[in-house]
Amino acid sequence: MPTIRNLAVGLPVRDGYVLVSDATDSMKGEVFHRALGGGIEFGETADTAVRREFAEELGVTLTTVQLLGVMENIFHYEGEPGHEIVHVFVVQSEEIDAIPLDATLRVLDEGSPVGWRRIDRLDRPLYPAGVEDLLRSLGEADALTQ
């Protein structure tokens, strides 16, 4: 029987860009962006999980982790149903800030391409569903405080 996955993802944001991975659903022929992060392990807090995932995926240490929201995501990927509860964090790291905006990286534990994408010019969907709206609301909040 399928289960609900609990995830923690992070959104590094800098100068109007967000660092995300790129992926493809070959069954749908859809290319998309995905927030970086992964599963929350038993006994682990969401905050700890997002820190661990960034260390595993990019080899970086997060200095700031701030909860932006929690959302539910029901979807199909590669022909299989999925159901997630996703903790979405805005994250910061001096190591991430040092990554040039034109750099292309790879997720260390599975190889997906990672890069900075302009928030106001995303050329494909950003998943989990709803993350893009949270990201845009963060940008609007920043604009109000400047």
Q: How many domains does the chain have?
A: 1
For residue 56 the two structure tokens come to 């595993």
- State which amino acid sits at residue 1: M
DSSP H helical segments within 41-93, as ranges?
A: 46-58
Q: Which domain range does residue 80 map to?
A: 5-145
Question: Residues 49-61: what's their mean pLDDT?
Answer: 97
Question: Residues 19-28: what's their mean pLDDT?
Answer: 93
For residue 15 the two structure tokens come to 């100068």
Here the CATH number for the domain that contains residue 43 is 3.90.79.10
The label of the residue with tokens 């990927």 reads 77
pLDDT of residue 139: 67
Residues 6+ apart with CB under 8 A from 95: 58, 59, 60, 61
Instruction: Give the model confidence (pLDDT) of 78-101 as tens digits.
Output: 999 999 999 999 999 999 999 999
Question: Residues 50-73: what's their mean pLDDT?
Answer: 96
Question: Residues 4-26: what's their mean pLDDT?
Answer: 95
From the number of C-beta atoms within 10 Å of its C-beta (0-12, 13-18, 19+), residue 47 rates as middle
Mean residue pLDDT of the chain comes to 91
How many whole angstroms separate alpha carbon 53 and alpha carbon 1?
26
